[in-house]
Amino acid sequence: MSKSTVGGILKAVRQVKGGVFVDHNKLTKDLEVVRITPPDKVVLPMQQHIGAPCVPAVKTGDTVSVGQVIGDSDKFVSAPIHASISGKVISTSEVRVANGKMVPAVTIENDGEMRLFEGLEPPKAETREDFVKAVRASGLVGLGGAGFPTHVKLAFGPDKDIDTLVVNAAECEPYITVDYRECIENSWDIMGGVYTLAEMLGFKNVVIAVEDNKPDAIKVLKAIADKDNDHGNIAKLMTLKSKYPQGAEKMMVQSATGRRVPPGKLPADVGCVVMNVASVAFIARYLKSGKPLVSRSMTVSGSAIAQPKNVRVPIGIEAQKVIDFCGGFKEDPVKIIAGGPMMGAALINTQIPVIKSNNALLAFADGTVTNKKERACIHCGRCADACPMNLLPAEIENFAVRKDAESLVKYGVNVCMECGSCAYSCPAGKPLVQYMRLGKEIVREAGAAK
């Protein structure tokens, strides 16, 4: 652990290499999260996480209530899906989701009652196993954007040498402010979650990492952490330089502990668990109320949105409804993004349901999202300087174009996390992230062919 502290706040043990300085544009920073009026219907895709899709647990015509399981899977890497409104199931057919794929979904028509499911009660979580089971039952997946089922990260035995919990409040993507709001508005939940996790899973260190452009969040959380005596002052705050992609999982582990996660490995392999700050706060609330993950906060922002807001929405609400709640469009949007501008997915329309991992909806008017014309690579090396994973993106592009799977592997294409720093900094406007994905696909196919 780092010994270097300033006023009791840790500094990164090891700085992130490369990265880019993107305009923060945190327009909604000071806006409290507001609850949206429940919609007429919600569409709940059966795949809202990384891992095995769920199978609908209800049929058309069934009456469901808030918090009732409507989809589950018997696979380990998966998370159940719960009804986010009460009403009648009107369809279980396929719908299109943000990444363009068609996925089976349960559509519920609102009966206006928002009736809670009767079986909901605070879960029993006295042992490690019960706690992990409860986290699975809550349907929690990483709320920071990746959507990895949380219980999978936490299901390690006491024999495994995992000593550090890193709470990710970096929020390095531009525009998005929900994690910041979580720190300000639900700071007690966050610290409650931290102490529960430390107690249940035996973490020796907890590092809550925040970028230095959010001093308020640091102050609020530190005040609570300092007052704590019951947990041996286990939780420490850490400030990170405001630089993208500071909040990427492997970067977080490196900043907090100096350890580097090897290619193809997970933070657990170097003794760490990284959790998004909103996920941590959710665990504290869930253990108290037993109410599963049926709603989430998201930032609605961008140059085409009339009134940018932080909104608490039921999972499965249509994107257009959320935008309408924020005053609709003030200008015709040319691009709408689910997630942040660096890693989010561009939507084909606004009839897409909000899923668990969706932390933002951004809409941009013409001229505010740059789309540089693609030119020939001038070999300037800006992509290599920007790559936090120490790759040579322009070289990888060449190998991808040539379909040279062997060289792609050698140059580490699979280490790429698609953060977009290379494409952001490319003066020739190359869609380098797309080439990285293409390269990974070529490697996968070559592996399958062998």
Which residues lie near another protein (CB under 8 A)? 13-14, 20, 22-23, 174, 250, 257-263, 265, 329, 332-337, 341-350, 364, 369-372, 375-382, 384, 388-392, 394-395, 411-412, 415, 418, 420, 423-429, 431, 433-434, 437
Report in angstroms how near the CB of residue 185 gets to another protein at its nearest.
28
| Residue 334 dihedral angles phi and psi, to the nearest 5° | -105, -20
**DSSP string for residues in 249-304:** HHHHHHHHHS--PPTT--GGGGTEEEEEHHHHHHHHHHHHH---S-EEEEEEESTT
CA 450, CA 447: separation in Å to the nearest integer?
5
Closer to another protein by CB, 280 or 394: give it: 394
Report in angstroms how near the CB of residue 250 gets to another protein at its nearest.
7
CA distances from 170 to 182, 218, 342, 419 (A): 12, 11, 15, 14
Closest CA to 110 of 145, 153, 63: 63
Closest CA to 296 of 19, 29, 22, 35: 35
Report in angstroms how near the CB of residue 248 gets to another protein at its nearest.
10
Closer to another protein by CB, 70 or 391: give it: 391
Closer to another protein by CB, 216 or 366: give it: 366
Q: Judging by DSSP bridges, how do beta strands 205-211 and 164-169 pair with one another?
A: parallel
| Residue 208 dihedral angles phi and psi, to the nearest 5° | -100, 115
Tokens of 205: 């260190």
Report in angstroms how near the CB of residue 162 gets to another protein at its nearest.
15
Report in angstroms how near the CB of residue 373 gets to another protein at its nearest.
9
Rg value, the chain, Cα: 22
Report in angstroms how near the CB of residue 447 gets to another protein at its nearest.
18
CA distances from 241 to 19, 252, 268 (A): 11, 12, 24
Report in angstroms how near the CB of residue 286 gets to another protein at its nearest.
31
Report in angstroms how near the CB of residue 266 gets to another protein at its nearest.
11
Closer to another protein by CB, 184 or 442: give it: 442
Closer to another protein by CB, 67 or 333: give it: 333
CA distances from 389 to 82, 163, 241, 385, 420 (A): 37, 24, 17, 10, 11
CA 228, CA 195: separation in Å to the nearest integer?
10
Residue with tokens 């290499």: 17
Closer to another protein by CB, 315 or 362: give it: 362
- Structural contact between residues 325 and 309, judged by C-beta atoms closer than 8 angstroms: yes
Closer to another protein by CB, 374 or 445: give it: 374
CA distances from 275 to 169, 199, 257 (A): 9, 16, 15
Q: Judging by DSSP bridges, how do beta strands 5-6 and 9-11 pair with one another?
A: antiparallel
Closer to another protein by CB, 313 or 343: give it: 343
Report in angstroms how near the CB of residue 426 gets to another protein at its nearest.
8
Tokens of 207: 């590092």
Closer to another protein by CB, 20 or 184: give it: 20
Closer to another protein by CB, 108 or 391: give it: 391
CA 44, CA 83: separation in Å to the nearest integer?
8
Tokens of 1: 């652990």
Half-sphere exposure of 241 (CA within 13 A, CB side): 16
Report in angstroms how near the CB of residue 163 gets to another protein at its nearest.
12
Closer to another protein by CB, 84 or 357: give it: 357
Report in angstroms how near the CB of residue 434 gets to another protein at its nearest.
4
Report in angstroms how near the CB of residue 288 gets to another protein at its nearest.
37
- Structural contact between residues 244 and 387, judged by C-beta atoms closer than 8 angstroms: no
Closer to another protein by CB, 65 or 358: give it: 358
